[in-house]
Chain A
Amino acid sequence: MADKKFSLFDFVYKYGTVAVIVIVMLLFSLTNPYFFTYDNLTDILRSISIVTFVAIGVTFSLIVGGFDLSVGSTVSLTTVVSASMMVWYEQGVFTTLVVPIVLSLLVGLVNAFLVVKIRIPDLLATLAMLYIVNGIHMTYSQGYSIYANMPMQDGSQAPGKFQEWFLWLGQGEILSVPVPVILTFLLVAITHVYLTYTRQGRMLYMTGGNLEAARLSGIPVNRYRTLAYVLSALFAGLGGMLLAARIGTGQVSSGGSMLMDAVAAAFVGFSVFGAGKPNVFGTFVGAILIGVLLNGMTMLNLPYYAYDIIKGTVLALALAVTYYQLRRKRNA
């Protein structure tokens, strides 16, 4: 009897998240024939592509036992900056890509400096950075979203516009697969391989698993923690640029809601296939779950403001399963 209960729980733990996605998709496709079409499914993937970028960044900070609250602000920053490079300054490919990337790397380095060198607890240090980076992006954009031909301070019109190649990143298709979806799959594959099969990936996990033991095993833990914060900011920054490319404007404060969705995806990811620790593949599944729920609820015409109730409930359930399992492990 006891054994049977155990295996049921293990099943829920390992496949619960995936099962929920399958069940939800079945329900939605039964209520709406449009749901299970190629167009809608690619739509879902496209809609989660940016969150997935940010969530993978968060996953890196979680792996080294840290946390990065500043990713949302970094998204806002690079969205606005990449847009302004084209619209305000008429820059080409190189500057439009490099300036926001360099800025996000800088954010990551400052985070790492505060957490690793100054030793401020990660939540607090990145909370401070959340404000600072958000403030920088608001000051820089003066609170206005950036779009082609927008009126400038001096009464003239902005000289530049969003360029074709940039918009293609967010809106284009290759063989009728949206480009952002392809980019997402690429990022998931590369980071998954990096974390699972390379020495650096293993060292990141060991650093997060037991910081002191890792240090005393000769691992340069501060270097790996720095790397994690830099990658976290970098992926958030790339997500922000992709966001600008998809909507065709540099929307101010667009990253605010990203933080919560990304964190939720990463934590749901703990429970996927019973990993019990942050992992890229699980994070991706977590993002898909959130995307499927949003898409389905929109189709069902649920009130928009109720979405967060569902999201929060899913997160609580996933966390309940994960932590229940971790407790069992530790008591064994």
Chain B
Amino acid sequence: MSTLQMKGMAKQFSGVPALRSVDFEVRAGEVHALLGANGAGKSTLMKILTGAYQADGGTITIDGQAVSIQSPQDAKAQGIQCVYQEVDTALIPYLSVAENILADQLVQAKTKGLINWQSLYSETEQILKNFGFSIPVRMLVEECTLSEKQLILIARATVQKAKYVIFDEPTAPLSTKESERLFQIIAQLKKAGVGIIYISHRLPEIFEICDRITIMRDGQHVVTTETAKTNMDEVIANMLGKSFDEEFPKLEVPIGETIFEASGVAGGKVTGVDLQVREGEIVGVVGLVGAGKTELARLLFGADEAKAGAVRLHGTHVQLRSPKDAVDAGIVLVPEERRKEGIFVEESVQNNLSVASLKKKSWLGFIKRGAEAANARELVQRLGVKTADIKQLVGFLSGGNQQKVAIGKWLDTNAHLFMFDEPTKGVDIGAKSDIYRLIGNLAEQKKGVLYFSCEFQEVIGIADRILVMFEGKIVKELSREEATQELIMYYASGGE
């Protein structure tokens, strides 16, 4: 049986060790989970395996034979492929599905420089059919959905005779149904003798599909164990290095008058949405991916133009032509796509945190730098942002800390309604509980919160009231007491 082993892997970045003598192995035909909080060294280890980084020390062997991986080409030659989390970086948007899947064959064409389009398309169709996918092979990749793009990447990996495939947070952008399909494909790959390294923050799915689990913490290997011989609490404890009894305690906050009202909001796929939020209340808006949650959040924030509907804050009508109108009125949004929409990666923590409240920190148009820095330091402390300095560029922070910064920029504004769109996406457990606590604190300060998420368990834990969306409409309202994952799923998938 074929085995890939990494022994004593070490890597430093400007003198700071990111990996200290890490061992890891994956066997053909197994699904091996690689777990750890953000910053544990998972990505660094995988980047060494795919040739993106060169290790400072350690050996990689396949079936006992030492192999040298100095570049992504070397990794591919060894049959190591990666399905990246950010699928767009790995695909060429203006080429067809078929061209992307057979990219390597096209590059190393043996066909005298001419492309036989007929066979290209039929070959691709056959490959996709073997997996049971139905994607039109002539469609341009830029017109594909996220999950289709992921399938294209998987198909491409298999075409390139992958022996080991790394899945990096593959289910993060997927709906439950799409995830189920992905798991079937992974099972298929496994049967075909492919060794799979599976990275995810979602523990339930790890226990569903993985054979073994390796946990890393602070650049070190903690434990490797059979999935059957461990449980979720133990895994979380190993990831955090301490026991983690309760994911988050919900603060009990008295709920006051209605502060926010939306009626008949429509635009894009959203139709006729009515909702209210009261003082100190956390309202969860749940639905499967594609139900229209993000669209609704953007409409309520003025980021997209609404076709119809009215929004009132404290009983006053708010005209939403742009996000500026919403912010001025006191409605803010922490958007879903953190790096693209929430933060400025090439600006400092300080500049990111002050961007929405700079007017308060200016005098005659001049920035009061002392006030700005003091506020940034206070927010960093309050949010628990792990950063060496407030001058640090946000791009260098981990995902969870970037998210805290994206939230932090609103905390010194006069906002009354806070909207969060999938705030815990790609965020490690430690940062997650910080974010829950922060949202709880906002409720305590009598703010209203709209919490958009497709993580049902999370919403049941944090929300006072739950609105279920399906195909652009709110189809059901559930109280915290009556909500269960099964019930939400029933309504979210169109049950009456």
A interface list, Cβ under 8 A from B: 3, 6, 197-200, 202-203, 205-206, 209-210, 212-220, 276-277, 329-330, 332
A198 near B367 with CB under 8 A, answer yes
Point out the residue from B324, B344, B362 that lies within 8 Å of A210, measured CB to CB: B344
CB distance from B390 to the nearest CB of A (A): 15
Known interface pairs A215-B322, A219-B324, A330-B395. Does A197 touch B367 (Cβ–Cβ under 8 Å)?
yes
B208 contacts the other chain (Cβ, under 8 Å)? no
User: Within 8 Å CB of A220, what residues of B?
Assistant: 322, 324
Residues of A contacting B: mostly:
helix
CB distance from B439 to the nearest CB of A (A): 19
User: Within 8 Å CB of A205, what residues of B?
Assistant: 347, 351
Instruction: Report the interface size for chain B: residues with CB under 8 A from the other chain.
Output: 36
User: Within 8 Å CB of B332, what residues of A?
Assistant: 218
Shortest 3 CB-CB distances between A and B: which pairs?
A: A218-B327, A209-B344, A199-B362
Cα of A329 to Cα of B13 in the assembled complex, Å: 12
Known interface pairs A197-B367, A205-B347. Does A216 touch B395 (Cβ–Cβ under 8 Å)?
no
B301 near A216 with CB under 8 A, answer yes
Q: Which stretch of B109-117, B256-264, B334-342, B423-431 is in the interface?
A: B334-342
B342 near A213 with CB under 8 A, answer yes
User: Within 8 Å CB of B13, what residues of A?
Assistant: 332
Known interface pairs A198-B365, A198-B367, A332-B396. Does A6 touch B14 (Cβ–Cβ under 8 Å)?
yes
CB distance from B327 to the nearest CB of A (A): 3
User: Within 8 Å CB of A277, what residues of B?
Assistant: 346
B366 near A197 with CB under 8 A, answer yes
Residue on B nearest A210 in the bound complex, by CB: B344
User: Within 8 Å CB of B395, what residues of A?
Assistant: 329-330
A199 near B303 with CB under 8 A, answer no
B343 contacts the other chain (Cβ, under 8 Å)? yes
Q: List 21 A-B contacts (CB under 8 A).
A: A6-B14, A197-B366, A197-B367, A197-B369, A198-B365, A199-B359, A199-B362, A199-B365, A202-B351, A202-B355, A206-B347, A210-B340, A212-B341, A213-B341, A214-B344, A216-B323, A216-B333, A216-B342, A217-B327, A217-B356, A218-B356
Mark out the residues of chain B between 265 and 301 whose CB falls within 8 Å of any chain A CB in the assembled complex.
Answer: 301
Point out the residue from B301, B322, B344, B393 that lies within 8 Å of A213, measured CB to CB: B344
User: Within 8 Å CB of B409, what residues of A?
Assistant: 217
B358 near A202 with CB under 8 A, answer yes
B393 near A209 with CB under 8 A, answer no
Cα of A220 to Cα of B326 in the assembled complex, Å: 12
User: Within 8 Å CB of B15, what residues of A?
Assistant: 3
B341 near A203 with CB under 8 A, answer no
CB distance from B431 to the nearest CB of A (A): 20
CB distance from B321 to the nearest CB of A (A): 11
B interface list, Cβ under 8 A from A: 13-15, 301, 303, 322-324, 326-328, 332-333, 335, 340-347, 351, 355-356, 358-359, 362, 365-367, 369, 393, 395-396, 409
User: Within 8 Å CB of A332, what residues of B?
Assistant: 13, 396
Residue on B nearest A276 in the bound complex, by CB: B346
Cα of A216 to Cα of B344 in the assembled complex, Å: 11
B366 near A199 with CB under 8 A, answer yes
Cα of A3 to Cα of B362 in the assembled complex, Å: 41
Q: A3-B15, A202-B358, A213-B344 are in contact. List 19 more A-B contacts (CB 8 A).
A: A198-B365, A199-B358, A202-B355, A205-B347, A206-B344, A206-B351, A210-B343, A210-B344, A213-B342, A215-B303, A216-B333, A216-B335, A217-B355, A217-B409, A218-B327, A219-B324, A276-B346, A329-B346, A329-B395
User: Within 8 Å CB of A200, what residues of B?
Assistant: 365
CB distance from A260 to the nearest CB of B (A): 27
Cα of A276 to Cα of B345 in the assembled complex, Å: 13
A218 near B326 with CB under 8 A, answer yes
A216 near B366 with CB under 8 A, answer no
User: Within 8 Å CB of B335, what residues of A?
Assistant: 216
B366 near A198 with CB under 8 A, answer yes
B324 near A218 with CB under 8 A, answer yes
A216 near B367 with CB under 8 A, answer no
B366 near A206 with CB under 8 A, answer no
Residue on B nearest A215 in the bound complex, by CB: B323
User: Within 8 Å CB of B355, what residues of A?
Assistant: 202, 206, 214, 217, 219
User: Within 8 Å CB of A198, what residues of B?
Assistant: 362, 365-367
Known interface pairs A197-B366, A198-B366, A206-B347. Does A216 touch B359 (Cβ–Cβ under 8 Å)?
no
CB distance from A113 to the nearest CB of B (A): 18
CB distance from A304 to the nearest CB of B (A): 40
User: Within 8 Å CB of B362, what residues of A?
Assistant: 198-199
CB distance from A325 to the nearest CB of B (A): 12
Residue on A nearest B56 in the bound complex, by CB: A2
User: Within 8 Å CB of A215, what residues of B?
Assistant: 303, 322-323
Cα of A276 to Cα of B347 in the assembled complex, Å: 11
A329 near B393 with CB under 8 A, answer yes
User: Within 8 Å CB of A329, what residues of B?
Assistant: 346, 393, 395
User: Within 8 Å CB of B342, what residues of A?
Assistant: 213, 216
Cα of A203 to Cα of B367 in the assembled complex, Å: 11
Residue on B nearest A212 in the bound complex, by CB: B341
Cα of A273 to Cα of B340 in the assembled complex, Å: 28
Residue on A nearest B354 in the bound complex, by CB: A202
CB distance from B416 to the nearest CB of A (A): 14
CB distance from B83 to the nearest CB of A (A): 20
User: Within 8 Å CB of A209, what residues of B?
Assistant: 344, 346-347
Cα of A215 to Cα of B356 in the assembled complex, Å: 10
Cα of A290 to Cα of B365 in the assembled complex, Å: 34
